[in-house]
Amino acid sequence: MRRTILIVEDDPLVKESLFEILSQEGYEVTMAQDGKEGLDLLADRPADVVLTDLKMPEMGGMEFLSECQERFPDVDVVVMTSYGSIESAVEAMKLGAADYLTKPINDEEIKILLQRIFETRRLKEENAGLREQLAEKRSHFHNIIGSDPKMQRIYQLIQAIQDTDTTVLLKGESGTGKGMVAQAIHYSDPARKDGPYVEVSCGAIPRDLLESELFGHVKGAFTSAIRDRMGRFEMANGGTILLDEIDALPPYLQVKLLRVLQQKVFEKVGDTKTVSVNVRIIAATNRDLEEDIRKGNFREDLYYRLNVITIEVPPLRARREDIPQLIEHFLTYYNTKTKRQVRGVAKDALKVLVNYDWPGNVRELENLIERACVLAEGDMITIENFPRDLSSRVQATVSSPMGTRLKDVLLEPEKRVIVEALEQTGWNRKKAAVILRINRTTLYNKMKKHNLL
């Protein structure tokens, strides 16, 4: 696009001279006799830069500058003045003018000045574009949706480990999107993204079949083994395997998994031949594995092998600001799937959704939006499209603190203060602890309590 310049000047000789110089430089130039005409031209066809005389009939240069800034803030204004009026030009720059030129105008001086202004504009435009791209990446990362600071830290952590083979442990309540995070880890890895991605729900497979499912078997290994079978680890070779509900693994398989983690080798059921695999292992759980260790249900050495990098996926109630964005995403999807044209959610209905605690997390929200999209009679989802007990449960949660402990009531304000201190220090715990006047260990424990790690 050609850059556009507006000349506001009542002297015809100066005006024509500037027009000739700037046109030869490739700029698109328009001219106005005075400030009023200049503003009318800007309203009709915005310019990038305005060259204006400070002394004009009808509307003075300062008045024009002020009006131009108020109505057209993206326009750079350069004022032109005589040598004896430089003080006025300096005053104009204090009021927001980009620069000034003294008459008579030097051809090279104005060329250099405009090059500098347009170079600055180009850099600003590029920076604005990059900020938009970064904002888009932060809110949509490999199909994960969320702009909350806790989600930002997950994105950053995924990018930090993307070119490694590091084992990852995903923690979080059911329905928070641990599977989506695992996929993001896989597809962020340049060495594995084109390889297989395999998910195994350890809790959904009968225990007597779990070893065969994970590691495969050979013909005759047991009664129903009528042929050799490849296990999930072998299927995932060259890629990533997600072991969901890792807490459901029985003790004898925990030992076998520990060997895979340490050496990347195993034997199929009924075979003595060792199989080697190159696979990144991601484990996921919604349980407290440390509590399972204390109870003797989970091996401590396996836990520490899995717990190289831990990602805590926050519950939806801990990132309520992401709810409208998630709703918009699910509406777009289910409008297409159900052949509906629902534009959005009514204000009172949206308030209910934001205030609800979402025990089923993102999965529950998705199911509700699908239901509401199907039931919506108009182009907006209303409270009438929600399950009958949803609004009453929200109202009970929001308006009835009776029986609530003071400690619980104060949790949210405490969390808000901690987040503000962390954001103020760029999430530097040491500096944040100084601001909060607590030691770093106390801050760490509070961050853990509030799901801020």
pLDDT at 127 over 80: no
Q: How confident is the model at residue 138 (pLDDT cuts 50, 70, 90)?
A: low
Does residue 440 sit within a domain? yes
Q: Which of 238-247, 305-314, 365-374, 394-403 is predicted with the least confidence, judged by mean pLDDT?
A: 394-403
267 and 357 belong to one structural domain:
no
Q: What is the mean pLDDT of residues 345-370?
A: 92
Dihedrals φ, ψ of 157, to 5°?
A: -65, -40
Q: What is the pLDDT of residues 6-54, one digit of tens each?
A: 999 988 899 999 999 999 999 999 999 888 898 999 998 889 999 998 8
36 and 102 belong to one structural domain:
yes
Does residue 54 sit within a domain? yes
Structural domain ending residue among the three candidates 399, 419, 434: 399
Does residue 203 sit within a domain? yes
162 and 298 belong to one structural domain:
yes
171 and 244 belong to one structural domain:
yes
pLDDT at 403 over 50: no
Q: E strands, 135-196, where?
A: 140-141, 144-145, 168-171
Q: What is the pLDDT of residues 157-198, one digit of tens each?
A: 999 999 899 999 999 999 999 999 999 999 999 999 999 999
Q: How confident is the model at residue 309 (pLDDT cuts 50, 70, 90)?
A: very high
Mean pLDDT of the chain, nearest integer: 87
Q: How confident is the model at residue 392 (pLDDT cuts 50, 70, 90)?
A: low
pLDDT at 404 over 50: no
251 and 378 belong to one structural domain:
no
Does residue 319 sit within a domain? no
Structure confidence at residue 131 (pLDDT): 59
- Cβ of 54: how many Cβ atoms within 10 Å? 20
Q: The dihedral of CA 17, 20, 25, 26: what is its sign? A: positive
Structure confidence at residue 401 (pLDDT): 46
341 and 257 belong to one structural domain:
no
pLDDT at 398 over 60: no
The token pair at 287 is: 């349980």
Q: Which of 137-151, 297-311, 324-338 is predicted with the least confidence, judged by mean pLDDT?
A: 137-151
Structure confidence at residue 443 (pLDDT): 86
Does residue 356 sit within a domain? yes
Structural domain ending residue among the three candidates 91, 108, 130: 130
* Cα–Cα distance measured from residue 418 to residue 422, given in angstroms and rounded to the nearest whole number: 6
What residues pair up with 241 in beta bridges, in sequence order? 198, 281
Largest pairwise CA distance in the chain: 105
Does residue 354 sit within a domain? yes
Q: Which of 6-15, 57-66, 310-319 is predicted with the least confidence, judged by mean pLDDT?
A: 57-66
Domain count, the chain: 4
DSSP helix/strand/coil, 320: helix
Domain range for residue 442?
Answer: 406-449
Going by their DSSP bridges, the two strands 76-82 and 99-103 should be labelled as parallel
pLDDT at 256 over 60: yes
150 and 292 belong to one structural domain:
yes
CATH code: domain of residue 98: 3.40.50.2300
Q: How confident is the model at residue 449 (pLDDT cuts 50, 70, 90)?
A: confident
The token pair at 434 is: 């100084």
* Cα–Cα distance measured from residue 451 to residue 209, given in angstroms and rounded to the nearest whole number: 36
289 and 155 belong to one structural domain:
yes
Q: Which of 227-231, 261-265, 283-287, 416-420 is predicted with the least confidence, judged by mean pLDDT?
A: 416-420
Q: Enumerate residues 6+ apart whose C-beta is below 8 A from 172.
A: 178, 284, 286, 312, 313, 314, 315
pLDDT at 391 over 80: no
Amino acid at 434: V
Q: What is the mean pLDDT of residues 206-231?
A: 90
425 and 367 belong to one structural domain:
no
Structure confidence at residue 378 (pLDDT): 87
150 and 255 belong to one structural domain:
yes
CATH code: domain of residue 380: 1.10.8.60
CATH code: domain of residue 262: 3.40.50.300
Structure confidence at residue 140 (pLDDT): 63
Cα–Cα distance list, 320 to 75, 175, 189, 351, 360 (Å): 39, 15, 29, 11, 14
Going by their DSSP bridges, the two strands 4-8 and 28-32 should be labelled as parallel
Q: What is the mean pLDDT of residues 319-337?
A: 92
196 and 283 belong to one structural domain:
yes
Structure confidence at residue 452 (pLDDT): 80
Does residue 322 sit within a domain? no
Structural domain ending residue among the three candidates 362, 378, 399: 399
pLDDT at 78 over 70: yes
Structure confidence at residue 311 (pLDDT): 96
pLDDT at 57 over 80: no
Q: What is the mean pLDDT of residues 52-79?
A: 85
CATH code: domain of residue 422: 1.10.10
Does residue 429 sit within a domain? yes
Q: What is the mean pLDDT of residues 405-431?
A: 76
Q: Is 317:354 a contact under the CB 8 Å cutoff? A: no
65 and 150 belong to one structural domain:
no
